[in-house]
């Protein structure tokens, strides 16, 4: 498949944006290879901007697939490809021994999706459309899974703080990881076998709007993910020099900066969908991304770390655990009634900003 049909299906503005994004991403990779002495801050900045652009491109393709299929499937696809950047960044950071950065990026992603992404979506959607509705059944299932994730974060920490040996903590983390992945698989089975959770009255057919076909959107997703993987490795290599230069802590970079970069796909798609009054799809994106990080990405990294000799456990800092529990609690309370308004979105966003400020002060 050539680029002509893919570009030809887009409006002039979007077509120009796609060309700029791809050109910048490829140029960043070439510059990194040809100019190895380039300042780390420049490398980090170019990589971050390129990843942001690719995340937007992934979001465009995923929204199109969501229109063709269903809100729940579209949300799962967006969570999967939206978290590709995070998973790859975390993998390379794990191999580089940046365990604290990996852990912080995981909790930061969960918190960011539940508070910032969901908050901005509800805020923008509420201001645009007033009170919005979505499936209470789906929201309840997501809330139950998030509670499972929060409890799973507490158990290894309690074991560690109770005097458990490092070996026991790692073994417990591996066991918990296996159960979390099993829970995630079961949640996918439930979503695709329960009509109420997959359709929710918002199914679109391929002719509903102009744009890419399903095949073209899939090609864009895969191509963007491949380029994004290369840029993620470059970004990770610049983290430590940038931290030393700017003066930020590795913890703050992990818990706030990297998730914001990695979550841009979810941020853009979820807000756009809420603005268009497609709140069911928007909620699927926000919750789906959080659930996938908590129930799949984090456990997978624990297992990969054990297999590659870079052991990582699920023992997080007390502030991280408290932040995740708070994010799960407040997002569940807002979602369980099946309705949302702009005030609830504003409150979610404010809670995220409070937590981000606290993370910045943590040294």
333-351: pLDDT as tens digits: 888 888 889 999 999 999 9
Quick one: pLDDT band at residue 74, thresholds 50, 70, 90?
A: low
Structure-model confidence comparison of residues 38 and 83, the more confident one: 38
Q: Please give the average per-residue pLDDT across 298-326, as a whole number.
A: 89
The radius of gyration of the chain from alpha carbons, rounded to an integer in Å, stands at: 20
**Which of 3-7, 121-125, 194-198, 280-284 ranks highest by mean pLDDT?**
121-125
Q: 347: domain CATH number? A: 1.20.1420.30
Q: Which pair of tokens denotes residue 122?
A: 């509800």
pTM of the predicted model, to two decimals? 0.81
Output the pLDDT for position 205. Answer: 39
Lowest mean pLDDT among 3-17, 175-189, 193-207, 252-266: 193-207
Output the pLDDT for position 202. Answer: 44
Of 278, 294, 277, nearest in space to 331 by CA: 294
Residue 199 reports pLDDT greater than 50:
no
Residue 353 reports pLDDT greater than 90:
yes
What are the b/e assignments for 154-163, b being 16+ CB within 10 Å?
A: eebbebbeee
Range of the domain at 351: 3-361
Lowest mean pLDDT among 32-36, 100-104, 107-111, 137-141: 137-141
Structure-model confidence comparison of residues 71 and 287, the more confident one: 287
Lowest mean pLDDT among 103-117, 131-145, 183-197: 183-197
Residue 125 reports pLDDT greater than 60:
yes
Output the pLDDT for position 8. Answer: 59
Output the pLDDT for position 11. Answer: 58
Share of the chain above pLDDT 90, in %: 16
Structure-model confidence comparison of residues 9 and 308, the more confident one: 308
Domain count, the chain: 1
Output the pLDDT for position 207. Answer: 40
CA angle 108, 114, 116 (to 5 degrees): 75
Output the pLDDT for position 209. Answer: 44
Output the pLDDT for position 87. Answer: 79
* Dist. CA 144–CA 41, nearest whole Å: 41
* Dist. CA 43–CA 303, nearest whole Å: 30
The answer for residues whose C-beta is within 8 angstroms of residue 36's C-beta and 6 or more apart is: none
Which runs of E-coded beta strand occur in the chain?
132-133, 339-340
């Amino acid at each position: 498949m050539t680029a002509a049909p893919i570009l030809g299906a887009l409006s002039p503005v979007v077509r120009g944006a796609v060309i700029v994004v791809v050109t910048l991403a490829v140029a960043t990779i070439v510059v990194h290879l040809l100019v190895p002495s380039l300042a780390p801050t420049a490398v980090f900045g170019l990589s971050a901007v390129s990843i942001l652009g690719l995340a937007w491109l992934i979001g465009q393709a995923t929204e199109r697939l969501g229109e063709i299929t269903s809100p729940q499937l579209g949300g799962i696809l967006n969570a999967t490809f939206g978290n590709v950047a995070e998973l790859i960044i975390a993998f390379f950071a794990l191999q580089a021994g940046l365990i604290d950065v990996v852990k912080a990026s995981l909790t930061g992603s969960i918190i960011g999706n539940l508070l910032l992404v969901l908050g901005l979506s509800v805020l923008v959607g509420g201001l645009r459309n007033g009170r919005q509705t979505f499936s209470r059944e789906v929201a309840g299932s997501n809330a139950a899974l998030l509670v499972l994730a929060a409890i799973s974060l507490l158990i290894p920490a309690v074991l560690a703080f109770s005097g458990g040996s490092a070996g026991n903590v790692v073994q417990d983390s591996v066991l918990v990881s296996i159960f979390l992945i099993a829970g995630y698989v079961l949640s996918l089975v439930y979503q695709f076998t329960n009509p109420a959770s997959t359709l929710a009255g918002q199914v679109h057919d391929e002719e509903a709007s102009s744009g890419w076909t399903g095949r073209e959107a899939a090609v864009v997703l895969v191509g963007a993910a491949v380029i994004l993987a290369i840029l993620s490795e470059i970004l990770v290599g610049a983290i430590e020099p940038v931290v030393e230069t700017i003066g930020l802590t590795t913890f703050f970079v992990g818990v706030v900066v990297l998730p914001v970069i990695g979550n841009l796909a979810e941020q853009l798609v979820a807000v756009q969908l809420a603005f268009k009054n497609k709140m069911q799809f928007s909620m699927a994106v926000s919750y789906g991304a959080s659930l996938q990080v908590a129930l799949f990405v984090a456990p997978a990294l624990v297992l990969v770390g054990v297999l590659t000799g870079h052991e990582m456990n699920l023992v997080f800092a007390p502030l991280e655990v408290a932040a995740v529990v708070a994010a799960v609690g407040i997002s569940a309370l807002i979602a369980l009634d099946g309705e949302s308004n702009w005030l609830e979105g504003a409150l979610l966003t404010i809670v995220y900003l409070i937590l981000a400020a606290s993370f910045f002060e943590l040294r």
